Each structure stands twice: as C-alpha cells, then as structure tokens.
Structure 1
Amino acid sequence: MLKILLPVDGSDACNKAIAHFIQLLNWYKEVPEIHLLNVQFPLPGDISTFISQTNIKQYHQDEGMKDLKSACDLLDQAGIAYQYHVVVGEVAKMIVQFAAEKQCDQIVLGPRGLGTVQGMLLGSVASKLIHLSPIPVLLVK
C-alpha cells in the first residue's frame, strides 16, 4: 500500500492543501495510508532546568494537536483513515527523517504555510524539502 506523509502546521494554506489533496485521492488506485505530521519547534534555551521533561513533552503534544485539529477534521469529514504524529525539531529535517522512518512513498504539502518566506515562489519549508528529500514531494494549492 502506498504511504503518504502530509506535514501539517495548522495554517489556512495547509488546510486548503489538505482539502485539495482529498479531492485528488481518486488519482490513486487505492486509498493510500496517510500519516499527518506536525513538527513543533524546540523550546529555546535550557528550559528543562525550570520545567520537567514530562511537562515539555505534554506542551509540544498539546500544541501539535491544536495544529493538527483542522486537518483531522477535514479527513474525518471525508471518511478517510489516517494516523497522526507530533515530533520536535527543525521542520524540513524532521519531515524527511520521519518520511524515511515510516517508509513513505510521497510527501504532500502546500507551497506555503506558517514558516517565514525565503523565496518569492515557495515557502522556506517546501523549498528545503524539495532539496533535502529523496522521496518525491507533491505541492498542492
């Protein structure tokens, strides 16, 4: 079965890309295994001096779930099964690493999300992914 990774940041652009991707699912012979991934930024400095690792992990999980909610709702409404994951680290690097670990066949994302825009055509995460990923990247608007 085909495995597809959908990185999710909770932005309107991301939700539009997911809604469009749902419409494209008939391109595939069978409904692929879908993994939603939210990447949280590490907290700055040595915050673990003041806050327990358990609380930091819970914070990242809570924030990730907020970012994933709209995408989960869209897939639920369409009756499409998926798994969701929250990881912490540098966004593009973590997406590529996760896709490799899960042996995904394709990464699908919108060309822009919440990340800072480095280029005129693509958001910085999409641009980095295209350069870093050995797995095909499909950009959907």
Structure 2
Amino acid sequence: MLKFLLPVDGSDTSVKAVGEFIKLIGWYKEVPEIHLLNVQYPLRGNVPMFIDKESIDLYYQEEGLKELRPARELLERAGIACRFHITAGTPPDMILRYAEEIDCDQIIMGPRGLGAVKGILLGSVASRIMQLATIPVLLIK
C-alpha cells in the first residue's frame, strides 16, 4: 500500500491542498495510507527554562490538534482514514525526517508563496522540501 505524508499547518493553503488531494484520490488503484503531520515551531528564548517539559509538550499537542482539525475533518467527510502526528522543530527538517521514518512514498503539500510575487514563488518550506526530498513531492495549488 502506498503511504503519503501530508504536512499541514492549519493555513488556508494547506487545507486547500488536502481538499484538492481528495479530488485526486481516484488517480490511485487503492486509497493510500494517509499521514497528516503538523510541525510546531520550538518555543523561543528562555521559555523552556521556566516551563516544564510536560507543559511544553501539552502546548505543542493542543496547538497541533487545532491546526490539524480542518484537514482531518475534510478527510473524514470524504471517508478517508488518516493517521496524524504532531512534532516540534524546523518544518522542512521534521517533514523530511518523518517521511523517512515512516517510509513514505510521496509528500503532498501546498506551496505557500509569500512576498511581492506571491503567485510565482514557492514558500520557503515547500522550496526546501523540493530541494532535499529523496521521494516524489506533489505540490497542489
């Protein structure tokens, strides 16, 4: 069975990519195993010195669940089962590491162009994934 990783951050772009992917699911002979991944940015500064690890992990889980909710609901409405994961770190690094750890066949994500030429440029995360991934990456606009 094919295994796909869909990184989502709760943004309109990532939710739209999941919705568009659902429309393309018929491309595949069988429904692939879907893994949603949310990457939380690590807390900055001295915060970890004053808050215990359990509280920080709980914060990451709560925020990750909020950001995963729209994508999970779209997949659920389409009758597509998924697994979801939440981690903390630099998004491109964590996405690539996770794809390798679970032996994914493809990464599917939405490009997120920011800046003056928004429609032309890829977001920095998508760009980095495209440069470093050793498996196919499907960008859905």
Among all aligned residue pairs of Structure 1 and Structure 2, give the percentage whose two residues are the same amino acid: 55
Name 1:93's counterpart in structure 2. Answer: 93
Question: 1:23 offset after TM fit, Å?
Answer: 0.5
Question: How far is the alpha carbon of 1:48 from its aligned partner?
Answer: 2.2
Q: Which runs of 5+ in 2 are unaligned?
A: none
8 Å contact from structure 1 (residues 36, 83) kept in 2: yes
Deviation of 1:93 (Å): 0.7
The equivalent of 1:31 in structure 2 is: 31
- 1:6 aligned residue: 6
Deviations along 1:33-81, whole A, 9 cap, x unmatched?
0000000000002322211100000000100001000000000100100
Q: Distance in 1 between matches of 2:52 and 2:93?
A: 26
Paired residue secondary structure (1:20): helix
Name the SS of the counterpart of 2:29 in structure 1. Answer: coil
In structure 2, what is the Cα distance between the partners aligned to 1:117 and 1:85?
30
Question: Per-residue displacement from partner, 1:80-99 (whole Å, max 9, x unpaired)?
Answer: 00000001000001000000
The one-character-per-residue Cα deviations of 1:87-127 (angstroms, maximum 9, x if unpaired) are: 100000100000000000000001117xx659842111110
Task: Specify the SS of the correspondent of 2:59.
Answer: helix
1:118 and 1:83 map into 2 onto residues whose CA distance is: 36
* SS of residue paired to 2:9: coil
Corresponding residue of 2:15: 15
Matching residue of 1:59: 59
Count of residues in correspondence between the two structures: 139
Alignment of 1:98-117 (within 5 A): 98-112=98-112
Q: How does 1:62-141 map to 2 (within 5 A)?
A: 62-112=62-112, 120-141=120-141
Contact 1:118/1:124 (CA < 8 Å) preserved in 2?
no
SS of corresponding position for 1:130: helix
CA RMSD of aligned residues (A): 1.5
Aligned equivalents of 2:135 and 2:115: distance in 1? 23
Per the normalisation by structure 2, the TM-score is 0.94
TM-score by length of 1: 0.94
